Amino acid sequence: MKKLLKYMKGYRARCAAAPFLKAIEALCELLVPVVMADIIDFGIKNADKPYILGRIALLGFLAVLGLCFTMAAQYFAASTAVGFTSNIKKALYRHITSLEYGDIDREGTSALLSKMTNDTREIQNGVNLTLRLISRSVLIVFGAAVMAFVVDAKSGLIFAVVIPVLFVVVFSIMLFSVPIYKKIQKRLESVVTSVREYLYGVRLVRSFGRDGAEAKRFDERNGALEKSSVFAGKISSLMNPLTLVIINLGVVALLYSGAVRVSAGTLTAGQVVALYNYMSQILIELLKLANLVMSISRALSAASRIEGVLESGARGESGAIKGPQKETQKETQKEILKTSRAVELENVSFSYDADGAPALSGVSLSVESGETVGIIGQTGSGKTTLVNLISGFYKPSGGKVKIYGRDISEYDKNALRKAFHHVPQKSVLFSGTLRDNLLWGNEAASDDELSRALESAVAMDFVEKKDGLDTWVGEEGAGFSGGQRQRLCVARALVGSPDFLILDDSASALDLATEKKLRGEIAAIEPHPTTFIISQRAASIMHADKILVMENGRRVGLGTHAELLSSCGVYREIFASQFGEESLPPRGGLGENISEPNSKSDIKSDIKSDVKSEGKGGAA
């Protein structure tokens, strides 16, 4: 919690005022038993009505004064807790949005959501209760003990024994509870993960008939959370009975001692009543303090988890490109000048985990400005990892990545983000208008620029049928088909004329004719960005200036389509699997005359029709 206190800025005065005002209210309450003792010992004993009425008026004044102070304290405590938590949420959100891929991979989406919602709520409750109760409860507990000694020193010894025992019980339970609450938070995250995954993949779950299995998995995780919560509840439930037993033993000792001494004439009835009231005040406040301790335990656990997230990027654990030091960033940004060689990879290697198998090994590549590079390979061959390294989302484990002749680590991260526009594998659109989504590429873009981007992405036809740029986009692109979402994502990437355009399997939902038209529109863009196209389909990358073939994280081929058909066995296998063995040129041939088939199914249907016609001719 200590590291989060900087977010108390702007609320420190209120933070100090709340416990101070509560302390004054507590002092008012500590005076009540003394006034009651005076009423009994002097007013009732002497039948002095004016004295009694005067003391009653004093009690009323103390009640009103305490109410005013407590209302002010409640306001300051609540506003401080809400404001403090709001600052933490803002900082946490800003930090989460700045996290690189590695940080998010390590933390987990569900864990981040839980920390943003549940953990911040626990901190808010903890701060609110602490400001309201900590000064009041501590002051009343110790103040009641002091007042007991003022009323009667011998009876005060009972308080001196009871209070330390109570504190030992309370703080022992707190120390035992903190790790349990941490475990509860972890299990709560697993429940959130289960719900999130089900909602995200509900169509897939139902299509495979996995509703029962998912319900069982949720029950298991929720059952584990329930067990931990019940166990924590059992530990916490010990607080009240233990404190009640200790307090009641103190009350018994106090009443017995008081009765004996009243009979002996060394103690008055009013003093016994005052001492009993002080013991009751201690009981009530310790019960409040017990609940406060539980709330503080949960808040400290939540604060520790949030601090871990806020420190994640600072520790440099993500392996992402952080850019140069602040004092050199402005100078470095000015030196981002285009040269003929846009990208260079020199023997690049990368592993997601320090002890894990490498995702990339010894990859070298040189790309000229304005070139289109196709990247193809089997699933898991390292295609997406490679472009993520080029974009600066990850830092290579070995080798160098250079952009325009400079090592990528020398560039400012924000400058890299502006230079690279990325269309990821998953088409992500946000709720809002289509214009809002497209302006992500360039906030200053005009409607004409947005329209040109839509035309280049072959998306204008279906956008015009809706409400144009004012078309409402539902959550996650609801209202658009998969192919339409992909084209809109491409249009967003084209806004702002990026230096580099990365299309990561961004035409997988398009038919070959639409994809071919899309490639033609992108190729006609001037100035043409240096483009990387990742695809599983050879037809999508066969017209690229050069094609990089990946297998098991290694480069196994580099060249044009014709050259790879002649020299790269892996590329030949991929091509043959999609277009048939008959479309392959002889090994060693250049294959310049290879044309782009319409589709593998079309080739098969042509072959079938040829077989049928031959069969009819034989029969005749």
Name the CA dihedral angle for 72, 78, 81, 83, rounded to a multiple of 10 degrees: -90
What does the alpha-carbon distance between residue 599 and residue 34 come to, in Å, rounded to a whole number?
96
Percent with pLDDT over 90 in the chain: 14
Within-domain flag for 161: yes
Within-domain flag for 296: yes
Q: Do 308 and 428 share a domain, yes or no?
A: no
430: domain CATH number is: 3.40.50.300
What does the alpha-carbon distance between residue 538 and residue 212 come to, in Å, rounded to a whole number?
40
- Of 450, 444, 449, 476, nearest to 463 by C-alpha is 450
What does the alpha-carbon distance between residue 68 and residue 502 come to, in Å, rounded to a whole number?
64
Predicted local confidence at residue 587, as pLDDT: 65
More confident residue, 208 or 575: 575
Q: Which letter, b or e, does each residue of 35-55 get, where b requires 16 or more Cβ atoms within 10 Å of its Cβ?
A: ebbbbbbebeeeeeeeebeeb
pLDDT tens for each residue of 556-565: 999 999 999 8
Q: Do 68 and 187 share a domain, yes or no?
A: yes
Lowest pLDDT segment from 192-196, 221-225, 444-448, 529-533? 192-196
Segments forming the whole domain that contains residue 179:
2-312
Local confidence band at 596 (pLDDT 50, 70, 90 cut-offs): very low
Look up residue 522 and give its two tokens. 């992108």
Q: Is the pLDDT of residue 208 over 90?
A: no
| Domain closes at, from 281, 312, 343 | 312
- Pick left, alpha or beta for residue 22 (phi over 0 → left; psi -120 to 50 → alpha; otherwise beta): alpha
Please compute, for residue 135, the number of CA atoms within 13 A of its CA located in the half-sphere on the CB side.
Answer: 21
DSSP code at position 115: I
Local confidence band at 607 (pLDDT 50, 70, 90 cut-offs): very low
What does the alpha-carbon distance between residue 217 and residue 310 come to, in Å, rounded to a whole number?
31
Local confidence band at 612 (pLDDT 50, 70, 90 cut-offs): very low
Lowest pLDDT segment from 13-17, 294-298, 340-344, 565-569? 294-298
Local confidence band at 338 (pLDDT 50, 70, 90 cut-offs): low
Give me the residue label for tokens 């249907």: 605
pLDDT tens for each residue of 373-388: 999 988 888 898 899 8
pLDDT mean over 239-252: 82
Within-domain flag for 396: no
Q: Is the pLDDT of residue 594 over 60?
A: no
Q: Do 101 and 244 share a domain, yes or no?
A: yes
Identify the top-confidence range among 158-167, 192-201, 367-376, 500-509. Answer: 367-376
Local confidence band at 555 (pLDDT 50, 70, 90 cut-offs): very high
Local confidence band at 618 (pLDDT 50, 70, 90 cut-offs): very low
Within-domain flag for 414: no
| Domain closes at, from 312, 342, 358 | 312
Percent with pLDDT over 70 in the chain: 88
Q: Do 305 and 425 share a domain, yes or no?
A: no
Q: Is the pLDDT of residue 331 over 70?
A: no
DSSP code at position 39: I
- Report how far Cα 166 is from the mean position of its chain's Cα atoms: 40
3-state SS of 509-538?
CCCHHHHHHHHHHHHCCCCCCEEEEECCCH
Within-domain flag for 108: yes
Predicted local confidence at residue 75, as pLDDT: 93
Local confidence band at 67 (pLDDT 50, 70, 90 cut-offs): very high
Q: Do 159 and 291 share a domain, yes or no?
A: yes
3-state SS of 151-176?
HCHHHHHHHHHHHHHHHHHHHHHHHH
Q: Which residues pair with 360 in a beta bridge?
A: 350
- Of 334, 370, 349, 397, nearest to 552 by C-alpha is 349
Q: Is the pLDDT of residue 334 over 60?
A: no
Within-domain flag for 95: yes
Name the CA dihedral angle for 449, 450, 452, 453, rounded to a multiple of 10 degrees: 120
Round the average pLDDT of the chain to a whole number and report it: 81
What does the alpha-carbon distance between residue 580 and residue 562 come to, in Å, rounded to a whole number?
16
Lowest pLDDT segment from 11-15, 262-266, 540-544? 262-266
More confident residue, 364 or 336: 364
Q: What is the pTM of this model?
A: 0.61
Local confidence band at 318 (pLDDT 50, 70, 90 cut-offs): very low
What does the alpha-carbon distance between residue 598 and residue 570 come to, in Å, rounded to a whole number?
22
More confident residue, 155 or 90: 90
Q: Is the pLDDT of residue 325 over 60?
A: no
pLDDT mean over 77-87: 91
Q: Which residues pair with 579 in a beta bridge?
A: none
Report how far apart, in Å, the C-alpha atoms of 248 and of each of 145, 252, 324, 444, 514 are: 16, 6, 66, 72, 83
Within-domain flag for 614: no
Look up residue 568 and give its two tokens. 């790269």
| Domain closes at, from 312, 342, 362 | 312
What does the alpha-carbon distance between residue 96 and residue 310 come to, in Å, rounded to a whole number?
8
CB 400 within 8 A of CB 392: no
More confident residue, 259 or 207: 259
DSSP code at position 316: T
pLDDT mean over 133-160: 84
Predicted local confidence at residue 134, as pLDDT: 83
Q: Do 432 and 295 share a domain, yes or no?
A: no
Within-domain flag for 124: yes
By CB neighbour count within 10 A (0-12 exposed, 13-18 middle, 19+ buried), where does 332 fall?
middle
CA angle 614, 616, 620 (to 5 degrees): 115
266: domain CATH number is: 1.20.1560.10
Q: Is the pLDDT of residue 315 over 80?
A: no
CB 271 within 8 A of CB 259: no
Total count of domains within the chain: 2
Predicted local confidence at residue 614, as pLDDT: 36
Give me the residue label for tokens 């017995």: 256
- Report how far Cα 245 is from the mean position of its chain's Cα atoms: 44
Q: Do 425 and 304 share a domain, yes or no?
A: no
Predicted local confidence at residue 336, as pLDDT: 52
Q: Do 431 and 307 share a domain, yes or no?
A: no
Local confidence band at 372 (pLDDT 50, 70, 90 cut-offs): very high
Element spanning 569, H or E = helix 569-579
Predicted local confidence at residue 595, as pLDDT: 39
pLDDT tens for each residue of 386-443: 998 998 888 888 899 998 888 888 887 777 878 888 888 888 888 888 898 898 888 8
Q: Do 294 and 430 share a domain, yes or no?
A: no
Q: Is the pLDDT of residue 257 over 90?
A: no
Q: Do 149 and 292 share a domain, yes or no?
A: yes
Predicted local confidence at residue 602, as pLDDT: 41
Q: Is the pLDDT of residue 590 over 50?
A: no
Alpha helix (H) ranges present in 238-354? 239-264, 269-312, 326-334
What does the alpha-carbon distance between residue 558 and residue 549 come to, in Å, rounded to a whole number?
6
Neighbours of 393 (CB within 10 A): 22
First to last CA, the chain: 91
